[in-house]
Every structure is written in structure tokens, then in C-alpha cells.
Chain A
Amino acid sequence: MKVTAPISSIKEIEMLIELGADELYCGFNTDTWQKKFGVCKINRREPKGACINSELELLCIVKTAHKNNILVSVAFNSPFYTAEGISYLLTLIEKLIKEISIDSVIISDINLLIALFKKKIPINIHISSLGNCFNSETAAFYKEFGVKRIILPRQLNFYEIKEIVKNTDKKIEFEVFALNDGCYYEEGFCLTSHTPEAFCMTEYQLENSEFAKKKTEERKLKNLKKELNSYLWHQNNCGSSYQKNGFPNGPCSCCLFGNFKDIGISALKIVGREASFYRKMTSLKMVKTVLDKAASGAGNKEIAEFAKKMRNTEKYCDTGYVCYFGAGNISDK
């Protein structure tokens, strides 16, 4: 399995190569996009901090990556663009292929997918987790459009992933989330913005609606909100915190790496284009350490125990709120 790591600055590339990233992905933003379509984020993240904002910087990243046999994907994964926006993106993608030699694009808008397919643009297409592939029939649908890889959504459990992979043409690659940044709603169905902050992180009061047939007791409402806040805190990288050993806290699927290898997952994604240099570095170190264990021939149970011990956050793991894909409840690890 390959490790796909986020990059948002040329300053990060040496570190990512040194630590063993197999693939890189990034956001790319242009001034023209900002001026013409800026209300729609070009890749669902802020241009500053989460995106590469110059062609020269992207070129340097891609050249350096290619010298080290590392492929680079560029995300244009907003769930929806206007027809004019798509037209602009097609020209931009063609330019990035021709002048910068990017290897693939990560997309989710069905209309952008159709446009890329119709225009026969020579680029590997990865369907973002926002493309909502919940079953193998959806994977077959995307295959018809020449898709090479599908990044599976967060809100699947391991057994559901296994069924998808088992029942899909082996030519399709699958990528799963390995670490960081959970999501309370399913991101591909969420029609809100991450600006100024994620909608789910907006503090709101939870009350009985005047239209409710049955009222929920105030005590239960308070408990709901308390539980939700706890869930959100864990999903939001445990308040963006770190362990004493420097490893980052937050959602992960590390204890499933052995199982992923068994079922034929192609790539493990580290989330966090907008994350700091330090978080990117420690995230990659952690994922690689567990992956090395998996490559050493360790059994799945041993890998799971190793991952949990290394994370050293039993109290967080035990909540189940930092587990991607129901990792804490998989019995055949």
C-alpha cells in the first residue's frame, strides 16, 4: 500500500520525501479563479494555507517529486461548480498536464467528471471521498468514465469497504483515510461551507422545535449536545492536540492497515492539506511506522495492538470517536 501525503508548500517536500511519502496531493488555486469564482472554493479549502498558489511552486514540487518517483495529484474536489467554473477548470487542468506534468486530479463533481471524460483529457482521475462511493455498483458507474482510483467515504465500516473492493473490477484502485480530520456529516452530502469554520463546528443551541410531535426532555437534550461536542472534539483531531511523543491525536484507521493490505487497498490517505509542517511530518512518521510493521509480516492482530500502543491514547481509542471505518469494533483483526 502506498502512503498519500498532503503538501501545501515547497518547503514541505524534502521532509515528505525523506519520511517516505509514496504519493503527494495538493490543492491548487489561481488569482483568476479567485476573481471570477472565488465564492466557490476551488477545492473546498482556503487558498491560503491549504493550496499551492503559484504555477512555479507547483512545478518545483512536481519536478522534485518525479525525480523521486513520487506521483502528484491535484484536488479540484468541490462537490459543485457552475458550468462556467467547469469550463475554466478544464483549461486549467490541460495546462497543468502540459506545462507541469501533474499525474492525476482528485474530483467529485459529476459534471466535471463528464466534461473530463468527454474531452478525453489525458489525466488519471481519482474520485474524491466526496464522490460518495458507498457500494460496488457506484464504483462500476465511475469506471465507465475512465476513473482510475476511488477514495472511499469516511462513513463506511471495514466490512462494507471489503464488499466494495471484492465486487469491483480489479483495475480500479481504492484509497482509504488513514489519519486526521474526521467529519460528523458525510462530506459528500454536506452542502455547507468550511468558511469561516465548518458548519458542524458552529456553536448552536439545540432545542425542541415548536413543531415536534414529542418533546425531548431538557436533560436529554443537554446530554445530546454534550455527547455531540465530545464527538466533534475527537473528530477534530482531539482539539488539534499531540501526544507527548509528538504524534498527532485524531481519527485514524491505523489498526486496520493489515486488513486493508489483505483486501487489496491501494493507498492510505493522510488528511490535512492545511495542517502545519509539524503535523504533516508527525502524521507521516506515524503512518509509515505502522505500515512498516504491516510490511514486516506481522499478523493483523499484532499490527492493531502495535498501532494502538504506539498511539498511546487508549482513552481516546476507547471512545470509538477517533476510529475510521469502525476500526475499534472489527473482530477479525
Chain B
Amino acid sequence: MEIAFHLKKFKQIKNPKFFFKHIKKFYGEKIKSLYNNYDAFFQYEGGIYIGNEFCLHLLPTADELKKIEDKNTKITLLTPPLTNKGLKKCAYLLDHLIKFNKPQVVVNDWGILLFIKKNYPKLKISAGRLLNKAFKDPRLSETQKDKFFTSSTFDNPNFCKLIKSLGISGLEQDILPYQNISEFHIKEDTLQSFYFPFGYITTGRVCLTALLQKNKANALAIADKCAKPCSSRLLELKNDSFLFSVFQKGNTVFYLYPASMLEAFVEKAKNKNIRMVYQGDIF
């Protein structure tokens, strides 16, 4: 198992254990086994993730990419679903990304996949979380047990054949909120990347947090530009029917994995062909 870090702004990770201090923000001392067994769990470095899967405004600029001097940095660019205009913006970034050694792009719509295959055939491609549909409603009654709640698009054998035919080499996903970790099957033939400590529930182009930058009423709309008030803000959605903690970050709603779930997952996944992507830095 390897570990990668999704960073808000690029910086070299000199000591990967930096995240110990960071993740304590979310769990305190509850996941001690993760701290204590870091070297046993994470044998390899999965590199740096930049960009964003949910919002075009959170993509890095080409200048930010240019500033990364070490072109051997193992780098993954997360891309959101894109309009035709967004594809053009992203192409400018991809022109710089290909200068790195074996860069990877995470795609979250089928169009950008085709676009990359046509125009940047050497880029490694991974299928993003937004392509992986599953049930994540936080209001489910705990008594309901069904395969529907513990499987997803990526589990279907037809999908696995499709991604091979399309040259997709990785699958990005969340630990599903109703997943029974002991029954969870880890695929060995494709690199699977699991994000932590948050999984996503829902998203859209209309951003509640962006409203903070606007003074006028009636301002909930798809924005052409954004001052990114989400960079420092995190809101919690509270309702008695929610079975786990639910948060709004920018335009997206997330759930925080319970400590026991994360610990059990990491224990099960150690020594497997798995990447854990730490995303706490962007929250």
C-alpha cells in the first residue's frame, strides 16, 4: 500500500509523516494504530495530487505547474467534469503536465478521457470518483442490509473490461459509508486509490459557499469566476437522521469516515496494491 497527498497548493513533501499532526485534527487519538504502524502500512510513496474533482475554479494555474522544478515529482492532476470551454482551459494545463515524468490525470467525465486519449496519448489515466456511482445517502436506516449499499459502478466486470479497453490504469474511489470492511474485496489487477478521511456524497455546479463572496441576493448560480471562499471554510450539516458526520466544502457534500472504519480498512489493505490519498489538507 502506498500513500499520496492531495495538496491545496503544491509543496514538496519532505517528511510524509507530516500528516500525523494533520489527521489528528479530525480524529484526535482515535486512530493510534495508523500513527504507530505508519511504516508497516505505507511502503511506497504515491506522490502528490493537485487540482480538484468537483470545481473548475480549483484547478491550478499553468504558472503554478511551471513553478514545480523537480520534474521527477510523481504528480497526479485531478480534473472535474468539464464543459467544452473547460476542456480548453484544461488543455493548457495538460500541456505543462506532460513535461513531468510519468504524470497521471484523474478524469471525472468520459469526454475528457477521449480528449486526453486523442491529444495526450502518453498520459496515464485514472477513472475518478464521480464516475463511480454508489449509494451514499447519510439517512439510511442502519437495519437495511443489501448488496446495493456495498457495491458500486467499479465493481461490475463489464466496467473493468471497459477501462482496460480504454487504457485506464487506475480507479479512484471512496470507502462506501455502508461498506462492511471485513467483506470488502480488493481488486489486485488495477491500482485502486481510496481517498481519506472524507468521501463525497453529492455535488453540483451551484455553490453555496461561493455565496459568501457575493453581497447581492439571488446569487446562487453557476459562477464564471470565484474568489474561492471555500479554501478556508468548512461547514457542517446537522440533522438527527444523518448516521455520520456530513460536511459542505465548496460545492460538495462529504462524509467523514468513522475512525473504526478507516482503521479497519487500512489494516485490511496493507500489503495490497492500493493507494491511500490523504485529502485532509484541502479541508
Do chains A and B stick together as partners?
A: yes
Please give 11 more A-B residue pairs, beta carbons under 8 A apart, in addition to A192-B201, A193-B137, A221-B235: A111-B159, A132-B130, A134-B81, A134-B86, A164-B84, A185-B204, A189-B202, A202-B241, A212-B234, A228-B220, A326-B222
**Hey, what's the 0/1 contact readout for A106-138 against B, CB within 8 Å counting as 1?**
000111001100100000000000001111111
Q: Is A34 an interface residue (CB 8 A)?
A: no
Q: Is B179 engaged at the interface, CB distance under 8 Å to the other chain?
A: no
Q: Which residues of the other chain, B, contact A231 by a CB distance below 8 angstroms? A: 206, 220
Which residues of B approach A to under 8 Å, CB–CB? 25-26, 81-87, 109-115, 130-131, 133-140, 144, 146-149, 151-153, 155-159, 162, 200-206, 208, 211-212, 217-222, 232-239, 241-242, 246-248, 253, 283
Q: A135-B82, A160-B85, A209-B236 are in contact. Are A141 and B159 (CB under 8 A)?
A: no
In the complex, the answer to whether A192 meets B144 with C-beta atoms within 8 Å is no
Contact, CB under 8 Å: B234 / A211: yes
Interface residues of A in 212-241 (CB under 8 A from B): 212-214, 216, 220-221, 223-224, 227-228, 230-231
| Bound-state Cα–Cα, A55 to B115, Å | 43
Chosen A-B contacts, 20 in total, with CB atoms closer than 8 Å, are A40-B146, A82-B147, A114-B158, A114-B162, A118-B158, A134-B83, A134-B111, A155-B205, A156-B83, A163-B83, A164-B83, A189-B202, A191-B136, A192-B137, A193-B139, A204-B237, A212-B232, A221-B235, A321-B218, A326-B222
Partner of A160, one of B83, B236, B237: B83
Q: Is the CB of A209 within 8 A of B162?
A: no
Q: Do A189 and B111 have beta carbons less than 8 Å apart?
A: no
Picked from A111, A185, A216, the residue with its CB within 8 Å of the CB of B235 is A216
B233 and A224 contact, CB distance less than 8 A: no
Report the bound CA distance from A189 to B83 in whole Å. Answer: 15
Q: Which of B86, B204, B217, B241 has the most CB of A within 10 A?
A: B204
What is the CB-to-nearest-CB distance from A42 to chain B, in angstroms, rounded to a whole number? 12
CA distance A258 to B266 in the complex (A): 56
Kindly provide the distance from the CB of B62 to the nearest chain A CB, expressed in whole angstroms.
Answer: 20
A160-B234 contact in complex given A118-B158, A135-B109, A137-B110, C-beta closer than 8 Å = no
A-side contacts of B159, CB under 8 Å = 110-111, 114
Nearest chain B CB to A274's CB is how many angstroms away?
19
User: Which residues of A (134-171) have their CB < 8 Å from a CB of B?
Assistant: 134-142, 155-157, 160, 163-164, 167
A191 touches B237 (CB 8 A): no
Q: Smallest Cβ distance from A163 to chain B, in angstroms?
A: 4
A186 contacts chain B at the CB level, 8 A cutoff: yes
Q: A141 to B111, Cβ gap below 8 A? A: yes
The count of chain A contact residues (Cβ–Cβ below 8 Å) is 72
Bound-state CA distance A214–B211 (Å) is: 16
Q: A110 near B84 (CB under 8 angstroms)? A: no
Contacts of B219 in A (CB 8 A): 227
Pairwise interchain contact B114-A140, C-beta atoms closer than 8 A: yes
> Are the C-beta atoms of B222 and A206 separated by less than 8 Å?
no
What string of 1s and 0s marks CB contacts (under 8 Å) between A74-92 and chain B?
Answer: 0000011011111000000
Among B26, B149, B152, B211, residue most surrounded by chain A Cβ atoms (within 10 Å): B211
| Residue pair B147, A160 in contact (C-beta under 8 Å) | no
A21 → chain B closest CB, angstroms = 29
